[in-house]
Structure 1
Amino acid sequence: MRLPSLPFNRHYRTLAVTVLLLVFTLQLVHVARVYSANWDEAHHLYDGYNIWTKHDYRLNAEVPPLVKLTAALPLLRMHLQVPPDLGKSQGLEAFLDGRLFVFGNGGDRVLFPARMACMLFALLLAVLLYMATQEMFGGIAALAALSLFTFDPLVLAHGALVSTDVGSACFIFGSVYAFYRYSQVPKLPRLLVVGLATGLAMTAKFTGIFVFPMLVLLAGVEALLARSWTVLGKRLMACAAILLCAWVVTWAFYGFRYAPAPGGKELSPSLGPYVASMPNKTNAAELSAVSKFHLLPEGYIWGLANTKKTEWEYTSYFFGRMYRHGPWQYFPVAFLIKSTLPLLFSLALFPFFWLRRQDRHARELCFLLIPVVFYFALVTTSHMDIGARHLMPIFPFLYALAGVTIAHAIVRSRGWAAVAAALLLWQVLTSARSAPAYMAYGNEAWGGPSQVHRYLSDANVDWGQQLKAVKQYLDQNHIQDCWFAYFPDGAVEPSDYGVNCKRLPTGSSLWWFRLPMDVPPVIDGTILISDSDLEGVESGDGPLNWFNPFVGLKPAAVIQDGVYVYHGRFAVPLMAALVDVRKTGDLLKAGQADAALATAQEAVKLAPDSAITQLNLADTLILKQQWGEAFDHYQRAGELARTIRPELEDEDMIPRSEKGMELAESHLHQP
């Protein structure tokens, strides 16, 4: 027995669903127009185009191809300029070529249609949510779930981007829903749909491989509810067939070819050494076995290894502090901050209504809760703590449950119906108030979007999507002389959107992209800083944070809750010193040892309490054979690295200091 049906006929219900999907679409289109390109979109898009046109999967193997191919599909009929290979490493080449590809071909001219293609995943997910909830619980619950989902800020922030999160959520939810339908009517066509959906989940994002254990758990629960070993056997056989089908789909997306590119071209770095360098040797052994027997395409295996490596390497910002690996509380708290209060209240009320029913739909409840519990436990125990967007796959399941709560409230009494209406209206107002800065959304219990940066950063607030708004702000305030620390600088540059501020260094722009910059120790004028850099995501917190002089200052303006504007005179000695550190290396490569030594000494004068500047000077002194001074600076570098957030320093900082001291001391003791 389902919940009561809607009090109006199918035509009105169809109209209501159509209106909600239209509103959802309009909101997503608006986001696609006002957001600038973020960290990942350009290289995802270029890699998709590269796969379509060259059948080459090497450029950006860090994610599977489905979303990238979908994004690039509208570009295939365009006459586009393709940048030449710059001869960089695979990851760096992807970002540099991606930027040249997107902005060399008109920016939004290619990015907007790509976003519209990716928006289809969000729309399909909305339709699947409605269909699944209606089939399980009836029309009232389905409309309520769709209404709440349509105005969810996290979904709206990512639903129209060239990104894997919504696509992954779509096909994980679709796989579970398809398995639910198969378990009702175990026919071959329905089984094939489950296998196809699971394969699409695996090729949308690597977390899609966890659909299979979800289905196995659901098979076990079905057998338990039926109290039948026969049911268990049949469901496990079905799971084996699903896995086989998904495996074939995965190979199909890689052209049924193990090699990542035609002509024997290899990944860079090649798979064997890359897998061997993984921190977890058990994972390395498993992937080596998969590679040895060619069980999956080489590009897919490389991407799995990359996921585990970056999970280990990424730092995490949580409640004003940087961590080498995020605490286990990261995702539970991120969920409580980034979820809307109407959703949280609906979920809190769910047991109150559910336990009062005679027919509690135990089977349906398992199909909604088991994937949520499994996935949530999975991400909570991981170290990829960089954004609530990684929780996206649990939200359609939770909105289905929230829809059931609303439906129960509507049919229970007039008072409860008023509560249900208030929750729905609250969700709409929440979305409207945060538009279009959905990326930085946080609910009212935590102070709203303007306060999220106190607890979370990175894609929870700032993914570099604000350049169009920054350009508008500068034009409206007639600001021409400015400095800008822009989080994705290099993957996207402010000048791509007409923002011509002078560059302040970020971790990526200084050390990885090695962009040109020259920073004085004191700056007069207007300074703009992306939230992720202000919080120290790329540098570290406290004394390690280049932007520590700005922490605690009240900004003159905040753009889309993610870019802070300051006017005045500011001392930035550490920033200037680190730019000098890079200049030291460039001068040494050019054979200008004396100039390099002077630059390294200037960096230490500017930032004497930086392990990086001390180590840089010591290395330069070694080349000049000034052993005594080198020893002193190596010693000081080691002391600083051990005492100022050592877990955030480069892993080789202390070993380099110790080896340098040994080398300098050995020369000092020579006759």
Structure 2
Amino acid sequence: MTHLSTSCESRSRLAGLKRMRPALPLLIILVFVWAQLAAIPCEAPTVDEQAHLTRGLVWLRTGDLRLYIGHPPLINALAALPLLPDARIRLPFEEPAWQARDWIEFPISIFWKSRNPALTMFAAGRIMIVLLGALLLAVVCRLGTDVGGPWLGLAAMGLAALDPNLRAHARLVTTDVGAALTLTLTVWLWRRWRLHPRPALTVAVGLALGLAIASKYTAALFVLPLVLAVLFAWRLNPRTLTRTAGALATAGLTTWALYGFELRPMFGLPFPVPLATYWEEFVWTSATLRFPSYLLGSVSRQGSFAYFPVALLAKTPLPLLGLAVAGLAVWLRRGWRSEVVLWLPPLAFLAVAVMARVNIGYRHLLPILPLLYLAGAWALGRLWSRASAGRWAAGGLLAWLALNTLLIYPRDLTFFNEAVGGPDNGWRVLVDSNLDWGQDLDELAAFVREREIGSIYVSYFGSVPIGSFPVAEYPIPARPLPPRPAPGWQQLFPAPGWYAISVTHLMGVASLTDPDTFAFFRHRRPEAVLGRTIYVYRVPAETGAVAVCANPPPSLGEADVRRIFGSALTRLILFDCSRGLPLPRGLAWYLLRGEQAALIRPALKRLGAQLVYDEPHRSDPAYAYSLYRLEDAAGRAARYAAARPAAATFGGLATLLGHRYTRVLAPGRPAQVETVWRIEAALPEPVSFFLHLAAPDGFPLVVSDGLNTPFDVLQPGDGLIQFHPLGEYPAERPPGAQFRTGLYALGGAQARYRLPSGEDFVSFPLP
């Protein structure tokens, strides 16, 4: 009876779910739209949005497409539709930027110089993109229903709605979601056309493909795989060729119609060409829009084959990724022939994206995501069909994905999965539109207001021209940093004050000419991290000595050093870093270049010096600067030595604090000993610190003398580490041989300075 009762209850629940099923897609779309609309005010205008809105609005009002931004105009126009009847919006065509076709400065004039309602304009455009995102969910649901029934369609739709990457871009004014929508619509209709090749569907697939091609240039990558899919299904014959040609002709006419059936010469050709603007912008995009990319801490101007695979693995939620991979593997193994139209275009798209190495962001992979949702939904269905254990697994994966969604919302753009440490570690893997697209400017404005900061240096990766001129919507007392013109900026040693730097610029990409522009800050702990994208620092005013390695060359000249460090510099010390380093009293900075750093880096690390600037991306490492900071440099001298003798002061001028071996003293191998000193009084004449490997009778077997710093630069209280390279350590040494060290005057008879005991050296045994 109990079993019968349980069975009846299960059937009752299933019947209830079936009755609710028709309403569930609408419910998912409504919740999705509500969440997207609620998140719009939480994000400032991102990098590309104002260019897209400007292009669309100008085209709708004038039909002029002179502002090339690297994409066809269809989605731009759809986003700008709500702005068309707004009489408040003025387009400043008198601006030089319009005549110059400047797609960066002219949008700045529209949104931030012309007193237009900028934030209202962005909100209106974003609402249109939200609606396109909702349509994408509906098409995914319909495609899934055709493939595997209503429950598979509903599951695919649910996975899409829970994906933070799709949600992030389904409320920003770009072409990414629009292209994903039109391509998914094309695949859905193409699949139906493959099964039922009716004339009406021939026209429908052509219209959909034409809309996709007019949405984004990369949509053309779907054309050949789609054609191959139907040729594979129908076989090659005249009827197949006629159908395919009809669909492609309809697509071409659709795109041409959106360009007003434009027909004119281009590239100096003597005859008119259809879609001339489309082709000219495509060539311009291919030739100019290539930016440096960042991947796993490295900056590249050539791009990387690993970029998109890493992006997929790092940013796709793990439960979705696991379901999609499992579902796709089984699906392709069992039915790859019957569903070739579903998997071939997105996988071909991914392959071309990887090989092209145009590494801008995960958003360029949005057209392949519907395949992941379908495969993931199929895997969920398989799990659900395996009784209680499978249902628990399916429920757990869905709960995990939902938890990802709840924890990241509304900062969906910053999502990274647990495999790379989550959103807080995303900057270690990717930046740009994968993490930081300028969306957290409101948080910077609030931070400045709460801290009552009167002036702050800003390098902002976004479309709002912070630092160039006052922007009423974002009252930030900003002073510009690169990539905007920044007179007086010193990247090696920035001036004291507050700094706010977008993490994309911090990592050295976007429009920066030097990837190490903000290397100084990469070695500092920020005062605050705003929204995971804007790092705020406070550089205190400090003064100290600057020690510059002058040998081996090259090194900065004295005038350049004084210009860079300004009032922070109290002493300038030039030294030979092949023979050691000075340890001035108080705070000291060590400025090194190229191979110089390798000579004294071990000593600086042992002293506890902090690396505060380096140039890992310098094309020629011989010219790469590094800067170390060392507090109480002279006070650390005594602790540096491994062996410390009793106090031994020579001539009242210098005290030996100890010695250490930096290379193993092995016969036939290069050897080096370091002696550590403290200067007790101003040196009255040039001197040399000696180290001799001496026989018992004092005869020098190996000699290493020198002074790494000019004698008249050293001051009482300074420390000194002197390197004594010994060449090849002798294989044969007489019994009782030992090291002797001291100092002597270089002039005249080169008299040695003596200890109070009368000795002119201190000896210590061989190790």
Give the TM-score taking structure 2 as reference length: 0.66
Which residue in the other structure is 2:516 paired with? Answer: 545
Which residue in the other structure is 2:79 paired with? Answer: 71
Moved more, 295-304 or 372-381: 295-304
Measure the CA separation in 1 of the matches of 2:231 and 2:368.
21
Moved over 6 A (4+): 89-92, 601-604
Which residue in the other structure is 2:183 paired with? Answer: 172
Measure the CA separation in 2 of the matches of 1:438 and 1:150.
12
Relative to structure 1, the CA distance from residue 41 to residue 244 in structure 2 (aligned partners, 3 Å threshold; closer, same or farther) is same
Relative to structure 1, the CA distance from residue 90 to residue 143 in structure 2 (aligned partners, 3 Å threshold; closer, same or farther) is farther
C-alpha distance after superposition, 1:195-222 (max 9, x if no partner): 0110010010001222211211212332
Letter in 2 for 1:157: A
Relative to structure 1, the CA distance from residue 10 to residue 99 in structure 2 (aligned partners, 3 Å threshold; closer, same or farther) is farther
Measure the CA separation in 1 of the matches of 2:502 and 2:184.
34
Which residue in the other structure is 2:497 paired with? Answer: 525
Which residue in the other structure is 1:501 paired with? Answer: 477
Relative to structure 1, the CA distance from residue 193 to residue 90 in structure 2 (aligned partners, 3 Å threshold; closer, same or farther) is farther
Q: Secondary structure at the match of 1:59?
A: coil
State whether residues 66 and 101 of structure 2, in contact with CA within 8 Å, keep that contact through their aligned partners in structure 1. Answer: no
Measure the CA separation in 1 of the matches of 2:329 and 2:263.
53
1:495-644 residue pairs with structure 2 within 5 A?
495=471, 497-507=473-483, 509-510=484-485, 519=489, 522-538=494-510, 544-569=515-540, 605-606=563-564, 644=618
State whether residues 331 and 375 of structure 2, in contact with CA within 8 Å, keep that contact through their aligned partners in structure 1. Answer: no
Q: Secondary structure at the match of 2:356?
A: coil
Q: Which has the higher helix share?
A: 1
- Is the counterpart of residue 31 in structure 1 residue 30 in structure 2? no
Letter in 2 for 1:28: Q
Measure the CA separation in 2 of the matches of 1:426 and 1:299.
47
1:103-122 residue pairs with structure 2 within 5 A?
103=112, 104-122=115-133
C-alpha distance after superposition, 1:554-602 (max 9, x if no partner): 222221211111233279xxxxxxxxxxxxxxxxxxxxxxxxxxxxx86
Relative to structure 1, the CA distance from residue 643 to residue 460 in structure 2 (aligned partners, 3 Å threshold; closer, same or farther) is closer
Q: Which has the higher strand share?
A: 2
- Is the counterpart of residue 301 in structure 1 residue 279 in structure 2? yes
Q: Secondary structure at the match of 1:328?
A: coil
Of 83, 92, 95, the residue aligned with 1:86 is 95
Q: Secondary structure at the match of 1:495?
A: coil
1:396-411 residue pairs with structure 2 within 5 A?
396-411=370-385
Relative to structure 1, the CA distance from residue 545 to residue 361 in structure 2 (aligned partners, 3 Å threshold; closer, same or farther) is same
Which residue in the other structure is 2:137 paired with? Answer: 126
Measure the CA separation in 2 of the matches of 1:294 and 1:132.
40
Relative to structure 1, the CA distance from residue 183 to residue 539 in structure 2 (aligned partners, 3 Å threshold; closer, same or farther) is closer
Of 188, 202, 224, the residue aligned with 2:199 is 188
Equivalences, count: 542
State whether residues 133 and 400 of structure 1, in contact with CA within 8 Å, keep that contact through their aligned partners in structure 2. Answer: yes
Relative to structure 1, the CA distance from residue 643 to residue 399 in structure 2 (aligned partners, 3 Å threshold; closer, same or farther) is closer
Letter in 2 for 1:250: T
Relative to structure 1, the CA distance from residue 322 to residue 353 in structure 2 (aligned partners, 3 Å threshold; closer, same or farther) is closer
Which residue in the other structure is 2:571 paired with? Answer: none
- Is the counterpart of residue 249 in structure 1 residue 244 in structure 2? no
Measure the CA separation in 2 of the matches of 1:453 and 1:403.
31
State whether residues 325 and 375 of structure 2, in contact with CA within 8 Å, keep that contact through their aligned partners in structure 1. Answer: no
- Is the counterpart of residue 425 in structure 1 residue 399 in structure 2? yes
Measure the CA separation in 2 of the matches of 1:479 and 1:192.
61
Measure the CA separation in 1 of the matches of 2:15 and 2:241.
41
Which residue in the other structure is 2:737 paired with? Answer: none
With a CA cutoff of 8 Å and minimum separation of 6, indicate the structure with the bigger relative contact order. Answer: 1
1:16-415 residue pairs with structure 2 within 5 A?
16-60=24-68, 62-79=70-87, 80-88=89-97, 93-103=102-112, 104-223=115-234, 228-230=235-237, 233-258=238-263, 272=267, 294-310=272-288, 313-350=290-327, 354=331, 360-415=334-389
Moved more, 91-100 or 340-349: 91-100
Relative to structure 1, the CA distance from residue 390 to residue 175 in structure 2 (aligned partners, 3 Å threshold; closer, same or farther) is same
Measure the CA separation in 1 of the matches of 2:346 and 2:562.
51
Relative to structure 1, the CA distance from residue 292 to residue 198 in structure 2 (aligned partners, 3 Å threshold; closer, same or farther) is farther
Relative to structure 1, the CA distance from residue 59 to residue 7 in structure 2 (aligned partners, 3 Å threshold; closer, same or farther) is same
Q: Secondary structure at the match of 1:497?
A: coil
Q: CA deviation at 1:112?
A: 0.8
C-alpha distance after superposition, 1:417-452 (max 9, x if no partner): 111111111111111111122112110111111111
Q: CA deviation at 1:480?
A: 3.9
Relative to structure 1, the CA distance from residue 417 to residue 480 in structure 2 (aligned partners, 3 Å threshold; closer, same or farther) is farther
Measure the CA separation in 1 of the matches of 2:171 and 2:278.
25
State whether residues 218 and 370 of structure 1, in contact with CA within 8 Å, keep that contact through their aligned partners in structure 2. Answer: yes
State whether residues 39 and 410 of structure 2, in contact with CA within 8 Å, keep that contact through their aligned partners in structure 1. Answer: yes
Q: CA deviation at 1:351?
A: 5.8
State whether residues 432 and 510 of structure 2, in contact with CA within 8 Å, keep that contact through their aligned partners in structure 1. Answer: no
- Work out the percentage of aligned pairs sharing the same amino acid: 28
Relative to structure 1, the CA distance from residue 544 to residue 248 in structure 2 (aligned partners, 3 Å threshold; closer, same or farther) is closer
Q: CA deviation at 1:361?
A: 4.2
Letter in 2 for 1:534: L
Measure the CA separation in 1 of the matches of 2:56 and 2:36.
22
Relative to structure 1, the CA distance from residue 501 to residue 293 in structure 2 (aligned partners, 3 Å threshold; closer, same or farther) is same
Q: CA deviation at 1:605?
A: 4.7
1:464-503 residue pairs with structure 2 within 5 A?
464-488=438-462, 495=471, 497-503=473-479
Q: Secondary structure at the match of 2:407?
A: helix
Which residue in the other structure is 1:658 paired with? Answer: none
State which structure, 1 or 2, has the greater radius of gyration over its C-alpha atoms: 2
Measure the CA separation in 1 of the matches of 2:617 and 2:459.
27
- Is the counterpart of residue 645 in structure 1 residue 619 in structure 2? yes
State whether residues 226 and 341 of structure 2, in contact with CA within 8 Å, keep that contact through their aligned partners in structure 1. Answer: no
Measure the CA separation in 2 of the matches of 1:246 and 1:492.
43
Letter in 1 for 2:157: L
Q: CA deviation at 1:348?
A: 3.1
Relative to structure 1, the CA distance from residue 384 to residue 355 in structure 2 (aligned partners, 3 Å threshold; closer, same or farther) is closer
State whether residues 79 and 129 of structure 2, in contact with CA within 8 Å, keep that contact through their aligned partners in structure 1. Answer: yes
Measure the CA separation in 2 of the matches of 1:292 and 1:365.
45
Measure the CA separation in 2 of the matches of 1:184 and 1:91.
51
Relative to structure 1, the CA distance from residue 642 to residue 468 in structure 2 (aligned partners, 3 Å threshold; closer, same or farther) is closer
Q: Secondary structure at the match of 2:188?
A: helix
Measure the CA separation in 2 of the matches of 1:256 and 1:132.
32
Name stretches of at least 5 consecutive residues in structure 2 with no aligned partner: 1-13, 543-558, 566-593, 595-614, 624-767
Q: CA deviation at 1:479?
A: 3.6
Measure the CA separation in 1 of the matches of 2:347 and 2:320.
17
State whether residues 291 and 510 of structure 2, in contact with CA within 8 Å, keep that contact through their aligned partners in structure 1. Answer: no
Q: Secondary structure at the match of 2:540?
A: strand
Measure the CA separation in 1 of the matches of 2:116 and 2:353.
37
Q: CA deviation at 1:368?
A: 2.2
Give the TM-score taking structure 1 as reference length: 0.75
1:448-459 residue pairs with structure 2 within 5 A?
448-459=422-433
Measure the CA separation in 2 of the matches of 1:327 and 1:119.
32
Q: CA deviation at 1:86?
A: 2.6
Relative to structure 1, the CA distance from residue 471 to residue 643 in structure 2 (aligned partners, 3 Å threshold; closer, same or farther) is closer
